C-alpha cells in the first residue's frame, strides 16, 4: 500500500491523483490500526509463553539447563542435526518521503523456519507479507562457534511479487533477489547479540502497469544493510527478538511501485520485533 510521488510524473489524471491521496490516508489509517493490534499480539504471546507468575501459582525454580545458543534464531551458532526452529516477527520500515506522498511507516508480517543439517549447515525459508507486497526467501546457512563467539554465512534466493488491481490501478511487479550475508554473534547464558551485514542483488524483474511491461533479466546490485540483533530468553525456552537495521538501497520490495523511478540510493531504517517458539 505504498503510493509514490513519482507516479505524478506519469501525468496521472486528477481523478487518479485523488485516488492516490485517498489511498495514502487509508494506508496510514491501516497502520494506525495494525500497529496497536500487533503490540497486543506480542503481549498475548508473552502471556501464553508463561511470562510472570499467575496469581495463586507456585513460583518455579530457575531453569539452569537453558543455553541461548540452543534456541536462538539469529545467533549464528551451529545446531544439532535435525533441529527445527521457527519464529514470527513484525518488520517496520521507515520509508523515505521521496517514495511516498507522505512518510509512511509500513509493517510487514514474517514467518521464518530453519532445519539443521550436519557439519554446521542448515536450510531456511519463510514468507514476508504486506498483503499486496510479498517475499518468499529460501537459502542455506553455515555456522561455526569459537566458545561463545559465533560466525555465520548465509546465501538466500527470494521470489518477490507485488500487485495492485484496485482503485483504478492494474500494476504488478515480480523479481528475484540474491541475498548473501555474514554475521558475528556473542552468546551469554540467556541473552545473545548478533551483528549482521547483507547485500542484495535484484534481477529477472517484470514490471507491468496497464498494457505496458518493463523487464530486466540482469541481476544488479541493489544495496546493503547492517543490523544489530538482541535475543533474550522469556520463559519456557521461548525467546524475544529485537533488531535495528539500516538499509542503504536503491529499491525496497515493501515500496515496489517505486522501482521504475528510483535513480539513487536511500537510507531506510528498519525495526524488527520477533518471537521464537
Single pTM value for the model: 0.78
Give the pLDDT band of residue 264 (cuts 50, 70, 90).
confident
We report the CATH number of the domain holding residue 122 as 2.40.128
Residue 248, domain member (yes or no):
yes
Q: What is the dihedral of CA 21, 22, 26, 29, to 10 degrees?
A: 70
Grid-cell match 495494525, residue found = 34
3-state secondary structure (DSSP) of residue 16: helix
Residue 86, domain member (yes or no):
yes
Residue 58, domain member (yes or no):
no
Give the pLDDT band of residue 63 (cuts 50, 70, 90).
low
Domain count across the chain: 1
pLDDT by residue (tens digit) across 180-230?
999 999 999 999 999 999 999 999 999 998 888 889 889 999 999 999 999
The range of the structural domain enclosing residue 247 comes to: 5-52+63-276
Q: Is it the case that residue 177 has pLDDT exceeding 60?
A: yes
Q: 133-147, 149-163, 164-178 — which is least confidently predicted?
A: 164-178
- E strands, 68-132, where? 84-94, 105-116, 121-129
Please name the helix (run of DSSP H) or strand (run of DSSP E) that holds residue 152, with its range, or none. Answer: strand 149-164
Q: Mean pLDDT: which of 37-41, 95-99, 117-121 is highest?
A: 117-121
Give residue 192's pLDDT: 97
* Closest CA relative to residue 189, chosen from 68, 38, 56: 68
* Closest CA relative to residue 239, chosen from 46, 21, 5: 46
Long-range contact pairs involving 7-12 (C-beta distance under 8 Å, separation at least 24): 7/257, 9/261
CA distance 183 to 199: 12
Mention every residue, 6+ apart, whose C-beta is less than 8 A from residue 171. 163, 164, 165, 208, 209, 210, 257
Percent with pLDDT over 90 in the chain: 56
Residue 57, domain member (yes or no):
no
Residue 47, domain member (yes or no):
yes
Rg, the chain, Cα only: 21
Q: Mean pLDDT throughout 104-118?
A: 89
Residue 136, domain member (yes or no):
yes
Q: Is it the case that residue 166 has pLDDT exceeding 90?
A: no
Does residue 54 or residue 150 have the better pLDDT?
Answer: 150
Amino acid at each position: 500500500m505504498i503510493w509514490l510521488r513519482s507516479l505524478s510524473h506519469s501525468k496521472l489524471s486528477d481523478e487518479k491523483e485523488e485516488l492516490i491521496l485517498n489511498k495514502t490516508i487509508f494506508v496510514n489509517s491501516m497502520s494506525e490500526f495494525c500497529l496497536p493490534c500487533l503490540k497486543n499480539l506480542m503481549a498475548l504471546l508473552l502471556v501464553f509463553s508463561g511470562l510472570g507468575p499467575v496469581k495463586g501459582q507456585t513460583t518455579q525454580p530457575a531453569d539452569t539447563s537453558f543455553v541461548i545458543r540452543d534456541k536462538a534464531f539469529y545467533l549464528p551458532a551451529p545446531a544439532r542435526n535435525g533441529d527445527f526452529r521457527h519464529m514470527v516477527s513484525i518488520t517496520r520500515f521507515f520509508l523515505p518521503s521521496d517514495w511516498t506522498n507522505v512518510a509512511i511507516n509500513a509493517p510487514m508480517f514474517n514467518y521464518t523456519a530453519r532445519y539443521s543439517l550436519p557439519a554446521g549447515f542448515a536450510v531456511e525459508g519463510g514468507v514476508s507479507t504486506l498483503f499486496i507486497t510479498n517475499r518468499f526467501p529460501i537459502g542455506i546457512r553455515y555456522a561455526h562457534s569459537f566458545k561463545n563467539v559465533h560466525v555465520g554465512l548465509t546465501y538466500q534466493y527470494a521470489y518477490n511479487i507485488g500487485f495492485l488491481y484496485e482503485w483504478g490501478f492494474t500494476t504488478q511487479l515480480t523479481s528475484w533477489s540474491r541475498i548473501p550475508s555474514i554475521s558475528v554473534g556473542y552468546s551469554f547464558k540467556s541473552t545473545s547479540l548478533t551483528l549482521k551485514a547483507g547485500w542484495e542483488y535484484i534481477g529477472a524483474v517484470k514490471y507491468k502497469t496497464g498494457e505496458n511491461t518493463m523487464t530486466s533479466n540482469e541481476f544488479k546490485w541493489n544495496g546493503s544493510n547492517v543490523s544489530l540483533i538482541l535475543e533474550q530468553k522469556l520463559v519456557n525456552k521461548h525467546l524475544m527478538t529485537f533488531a535495528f537495521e539500516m538499509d542503504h538501497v536503491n529499491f525496497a520490495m515493501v515500496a515496489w511501485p517505486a522501482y521504475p523511478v528510483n535513480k539513487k540510493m536511500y537510507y531506510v531504517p528498519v525495526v524488527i520485533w520477533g518471537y521464537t517458539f
